[in-house]
Amino acid sequence: MPELADPLRLPCGALLPNRLAKAAMTEGLAGADDQPNPRHSRLYRRWAAGGAGLLLTGNVMVDGRWLERPGNVVVEDRRGRAALADWAEAGTAAGNHLWMQVSHPGRQTTRMSSSRPVSASDQGLDLLGLFARPRALQADEIREVIQRFATTAAIARETGFTGVQVHGAHGYLIAQFLSGLTNRREDEWGGSMANRARLLLEIVRAVRKAVGDDFPVSVKLNSADFQKGGFDLVDCVEVAGWLGEEYIDLLEISGGTYEQPRLVGHRGRAETVAEPQRASTREREAYFLDYAREVRAAYSLPLMVTGGFRSRAFMNAALAAGELDVIGLGRPLCTEPDLPGRLAAGTAEEATPPPLLRFGKGRLAGPASPLLLMKFLNVQGEMAWYYRQILRLADGLAPDLRLGIGRALAAHGRDEWRLARGRRRGRALRPGASRG
């Protein structure tokens, strides 16, 4: 039976040193030039030393016109190769893997980044007016998106990253095509599940062709969107089966969107989709593990699950039961960057609980309720708190566990505004830059 410290051989032949992975978390460290810098290298060298066998970067954008957030790294051409190589060298310094997560946000780009987003269809994102209504991509633009993913993946390999992950979850562009809620197309890219999955499968094939057969290619897929009419567990199992027929090395199961932020353990507006019944322990840990068990029936390749894992005993039990092959850890590594090594060695039994991060309490009463705003602020405040810890690690500092959620949110807002303004100015001066 596998344990946390055991290596994992991937289908392409690459070897992960252990079964622990630092899951993707958006860093927001890039400047107006959209390129990596010494802070990325410092941050990932620290995480590499922490003992995880696999590190996944945060969203790396394939198209500079549309960002998931200000501060994203963009890899779409030959700019910044030296900085990427420095990042890759630092992130693999302990003999671990560093995979670049390649992504397109689609409609999930705030007005600070783009007032003209794109998506599968023109379905808007209903979230306090922060997102502009998207337009539907044309067929030739979809083909360009596919090529952009392949180009970014090829650059990742050339600059020293040891793998790539195609982000098909969390409500970003690929997930927008997969969901019947956001994909209302009537052409070859919409309608049936096979058509809605076409973009993901075409991207996977193009990426594999670009990087070769001996380079790890992973996919991150939602177990469900947790929205009526959206991508659900039945869809996930079907798509996972198709991915199993492609040449990928690792499938990561997660879930949720901006409107249903289950990826960070929150529920959004009242959910109307059925969920597997879970015992109390499974409710507290591993949000998506029960969904992953269903995926196992259709998909036989290595499987990673991220979301909620905190105790060593529970992680080893999930591995021993064959429910997954890799444990993904995100937020705990913002405050305990050396946690994976201690878990693997048996010198730590669980992640240290973070301080309670809440503005207030209350039940959601409806779309117009002020409690919706409070819930949104709580989610955003929590994320901002962890972003601030990432920034401290990137600056060579210790985490600040005494930081208040309000202060974190205010500082995050100032940084986002400053980055967005600087980026707009920089792109306006860049020759040939197109606007989003």
The answer to whether 304 and 21 have CB atoms below 8 angstroms apart is yes
DSSP track, 19-82: SEEE---------TT----HHHHHHHHHHHHTT-SEEE-S-EES-TT--SSTT-EE-SSSTTHH
Q: What is the pLDDT of residue 274?
A: 43
Q: What is the pLDDT of residues 211-244, one digit of tens each?
A: 999 999 999 999 888 888 889 999 999 999 999 9
The answer to whether 190 and 183 have CB atoms below 8 angstroms apart is yes
Q: What is the pLDDT of residue 114?
A: 80
**Whether residue 425 has pLDDT greater than 80:** no
pTM beyond 0.85: yes
The C-alpha atoms of residue 322 and residue 320 are separated, in whole angstroms, by 5
Q: Please tell me whether residue 384 adopts helix, strand or coil conformation.
A: helix
Q: What is the pLDDT of residue 417?
A: 86
Backbone angles phi, psi at 101, to 5 degrees: -85, 115
CATH architecture of 8-361: Alpha-Beta Barrel (3.20)
The C-alpha atoms of residue 178 and residue 196 are separated, in whole angstroms, by 5
**Rounded to 5, what percent of the chain is helix, strand, coil?**
40, 10, 50
Could you identify the residue written with the tokens 């309000």?
406
Q: What is the pLDDT of residue 62?
A: 98
Which pLDDT band, with edges at 50, 70 and 90, does 271 fall under?
very low
Average pLDDT of the segment spanning 95-100: 98
Q: Check residues 132 and 61 and name the one with the higher pLDDT.
A: 61
Two tokens, residue 238: 């079907």
Average pLDDT of the segment spanning 384-389: 95
Q: Check residues 277 and 78 and name the one with the higher pLDDT.
A: 78
**CA 347, chain centre distance (Å):** 29
∠143-148-153 over CA atoms, to 5°? Answer: 135
Mean pLDDT of the chain: 88
The answer to whether 60 and 29 have CB atoms below 8 angstroms apart is no
Q: What is the pLDDT of residues 314-364, one digit of tens each?
A: 999 999 999 999 999 999 999 999 999 999 999 999 999 877 776 654 333
Average pLDDT of the segment spanning 365-384: 68
DSSP track, 401-427: TT--HHHHHHHHHHHHHHHHHHHHHHH
Q: What is the pLDDT of residue 266?
A: 41
The C-alpha atoms of residue 345 and residue 237 are separated, in whole angstroms, by 34
Sign of the dihedral defined by the CA atoms of residues 253, 254, 257, 258, in that order = negative
Which pLDDT band, with edges at 50, 70 and 90, does 169 fall under?
very high
Q: How much of the chain exceeds pLDDT 70, in percent?
A: 87
Beta strands in 68-223 (DSSP E): 73-74, 97-103, 118-119, 135-136, 163-168, 217-222
* Long-range contact set of residues 409-413: C-beta below 8 Å, sequence gap at least 24: 409/377, 409/380, 409/381, 409/384, 409/385, 411/384, 412/380, 412/383, 412/384, 412/387, 412/388, 413/384
- Span of 134-138, 230-234, 254-258, 264-268 with lowest mean pLDDT: 264-268
The answer to whether 32 and 422 have CB atoms below 8 angstroms apart is yes
β-strand partners of 163: 99
Q: What is the pLDDT of residue 130?
A: 80
Amino acid at 336: E
**Whether residue 267 has pLDDT greater than 60:** no
The C-alpha atoms of residue 345 and residue 335 are separated, in whole angstroms, by 19
CA-based nearest residue to 169, from 6, 343, 356, 328: 328
Which pLDDT band, with edges at 50, 70 and 90, does 79 fall under?
confident
Q: What is the pLDDT of residue 363?
A: 39
Q: What is the pLDDT of residue 131?
A: 84
CA-based nearest residue to 24, from 68, 63, 75, 65: 68
The C-alpha atoms of residue 196 and residue 243 are separated, in whole angstroms, by 14
Q: What is the pLDDT of residues 114-138, one digit of tens each?
A: 879 999 999 988 766 788 899 999 9
Which pLDDT band, with edges at 50, 70 and 90, does 421 fall under?
confident
Q: What is the pLDDT of residue 427?
A: 62
What is the enclosing helix (H) or strand (E) of 397? none
∠286-288-294 over CA atoms, to 5°? Answer: 125
Residue ranges per domain, the chain?
8-361
Amino acid at 156: A
Average pLDDT of the segment spanning 95-110: 96
